[in-house]
Amino acid sequence: MAAFLYRLGRSAFRRRWTVALVWAAVLAAVGLAGMTAPEAEEEPFAMPGIESQEAFDLMEERFPGAAADGATARVVFVSANGEKVTATENKEAVEAAIAELGDGTQVASTVDPYESGAVSEDGSTAYTTVTYKVDAAGLTDASRSHLDESLEHARDSGLTVEAGGDALEDVGGPSGTAEAIGISVAAVVLLITFGSLAAAGLPLLTALIGVGISLFAITALAGPLGLADTTSTVAIMLGLAVGIDYALFIVSRYREERANGRTAQEAVALATGTAGSAVVFAGLTVVIALAGLSVVGIPMLTEMGLGAAGAVVVGVLIALTLVPAFLGFWPNAILTRKARRARRAGGTPREARKVNGGTRWASFVLRRPLPVLLAAVAGLGALALPMTDLQLGMPGDEAKSTNTTQRRAYDALAEGFGPGFNGPLTVVVDAKDADDPKAAAETVSERIGGTEGVVSVSPAQFNESGDTAVFSVVPTTAPTGQETKDLVNTIRGDRPGIESEAGATFEVTGTTAMNIDVSEKVQSALVPYLLVVVGLAVILLLVVFRSILVPLKAAAGFLLSVLASLGAVVVVFQQGHGADLLGVETTGPIMSLMPIFLVGIVFGLAMDYEVFLVSRMREAYVHGERPDQAVTSGFRHSARVVVAAALIMIAVFSGFIGDSDAMIKMIGFGLASAVLLDAFVVRMAIVPAVLALLGERAWWLPKWLDRILPRVDVEGESLTRPDEPEAEAAEKDLARA
């Protein structure tokens, strides 16, 4: 591995113009494909293998055209000063507003609340549903403006008028603010780390090229594959973070080799052969974790995982080829001013053995490994405790800011019609085999209506064939409440008796039931996912480090950091501590997809730091240093760069906390906190403490296993040992160059 990458880096350095032109051509090609690709149609959220999805599919089959994805706006009218919306003046204002709402060119229908019974018992609140001919993404600016103007005209009558529904959702693409914040902070961190504008700018430039390629590729494939907007957002997030980090490690090793007196070409080759090997395996762990999301069986997670994995692959390839090529264009500009002055004076300062912050910290941990280990584990354990209170769900308008009309509409409906009105259940009765379908549907309706926790049941609506009925069930409790989940489970638990009596089958669906089913599916998939991903990564690290205990320690450290980060998410987004600082006005259940997605990404990133830091320790150990000396050497060379890489990732992820999308905001916070904990607590404290306590045993590997495992030479041992055939070939090639 090291010898191959050595030759790859050297070739990229020598043929830098060819490499740069090839990547420019790739960027131009995918850019053209992305810009000319047809606009992707928004795919409806689907979750195979759960009851609510099966019921929805049955509705689409039996009610053709009725389940169209037309956008909707639910407009709520609330009377003022104790008046009733049924009063003559208020009724006229409501009817005028409905008439104006119905005049939109894309409006399919509106519903009169006075005819449909959509008026609260106390007469204070009424609502209408505006249905559009197109989905939310297809609404024109004129239609959105017409909706806003109609609401304003209705408010002029003195009524409180609010609206919810997907017709009001912002379907625009990413604003770029988060990326700009992350790049700005990354630039500052890189400048401080390297002390050179060129050295700071090169990782940013190559990362942006990689993100551009990935983003254009996803855009080009979005239409044919039906990719969601979150696919590109997550790909940008991870592509930018790992792209900067991987280039950072190559550049840092290059500067180190130049400081040790190597020529520019030899330094590039050695940096690619050693740090590049760590980049390859770090990237592989991230790809395994992200691609592994496909085993969960959730299409949205699969898309996000594979899209982000593709961005990571591009980042690795750019780090191994384009970064060495750019180093060939500016071989000395990357160096510090001190190093450039020394070279002009004919000197070659050696800095490899200098004492720095990394060595001082390593010495501190090595002197007292047990107290450091216990303190770090106790701290992470305390942060992880709130995980025991984790509640999963899919927050809706209730999680939005009270400054939004959607949230105010949600609150008005809850106050006027009850908290369960915002999350009705939909029951689909399949009476195809029943002797009397109408009687069967009525029996199911009556039995469910008599269940404790049900406020009302709507009249059943039959399809044209008369063999399938649909009716709504309004719970007494809010959509995200535990009581509502218990009600759904109760109805499903009573199903055998109800179906036996009715002579027909039924299923429960609707947004509330869908969210409950998704949460349960994610929870059941988490452990198998962990076993698959952690198992594959442990095997990979076993090959990299040729040690039994180091991979197991890496996996245990990851579990600590991810549980602690999930605990932090629960503290902020569920319990509300510090929520105001992040712009989270309403707390509630953690988004169902959040834990498993966070686990996937954090595991990959945690292994990044493990590979970068411990590979330098392994390299020193293989080259003859004692275990404690190897730990110090690893920190001397890698600690500063790992810290810089972590700060860059934290900055990139933190930028997404300001996103309006609740899931992106939560993912940004979770990833930022996870990187903070993993890099600064697990890798900087627990790793050296455990290695200090293990000593020689840390690098123990049974002889039989040593013979079976392939040798990949991540440490670059073959590049420094002349008896290795690959090293001899590499040295001959270099001599000829």
Q: pLDDT, tens digit, for every residue of 505-564? A: 999 988 888 888 888 888 888 888 888 878 887 888 888 888 899 888 888 888 888 889
What is d(CA 658, CA 167) in angstroms, rounded to the nearest whole number?
23
Amino acid, single-letter form, for residue 183: I
What DSSP state is assigned to residue 119? B
Tell me the three state secondary structure of residue 491. Answer: helix
Apex 28 CA angle, 27 and 31, nearest 5: 80
Could you give the CA distance from residue 734 to residue 419 in angstroms, rounded to a whole number? 74
d(CA 574, CA 551): 33
Distance, CA of 328 to CA of 12 (rounded, Å): 8
State the burial class of residue 82 (Cβ atoms within 10 Å of its Cβ: 0-12, 13-18, 19+): exposed
Of 324 and 200, the structure prediction assigns the larger pLDDT to: 324
> For position 229, what pLDDT does the model report?
67
Q: Is the pLDDT of residue 715 over 80?
A: no
Separation of alpha carbons 401 and 583, rounded Å: 8
Q: How far is CA 188 from CA 2, 294, 607, 612, in A?
A: 32, 36, 25, 22
CA 546 to chain CA centroid, Å, is: 32
Relative to beta strand 590-591, strand 392-393 is parallel
CB atoms under 10 Å from CB of 511, counted, come to 17
Max avg pLDDT among 14-28, 48-62, 265-279: 14-28
Q: CA of 555: how far to CAs of 530, 536, 541, in Å?
A: 10, 11, 10
Q: Residue 462: which H helix or E strand, with range?
A: strand 461-462
**Cα separation of 564 and 40, whole Å?**
38
Distance CA 683, CA 586 (A): 34
> CA–CA separation, 489 vs 479, rounded Å?
14
Record the pTM.
0.76
Name, of 9-23, 135-149, 508-522, 722-736, the range with top average pLDDT.
9-23
Lowest mean pLDDT among 210-219, 426-435, 514-523: 514-523
Q: Minimal CA–CA distance to 357: which of 635, 620, 611, 614?
A: 635
Greater pLDDT, 663 or 323: 323
More confident residue, 407 or 733: 407
Neighbours of 49 (CB within 10 A): 10
Structure tokens at 344: 């002009």
Res. 733: pLDDT tops 60: no
d(CA 295, CA 249): 32
Q: At what angle do helices 549-569 and 687-694 cross, to 10 degrees?
A: 150
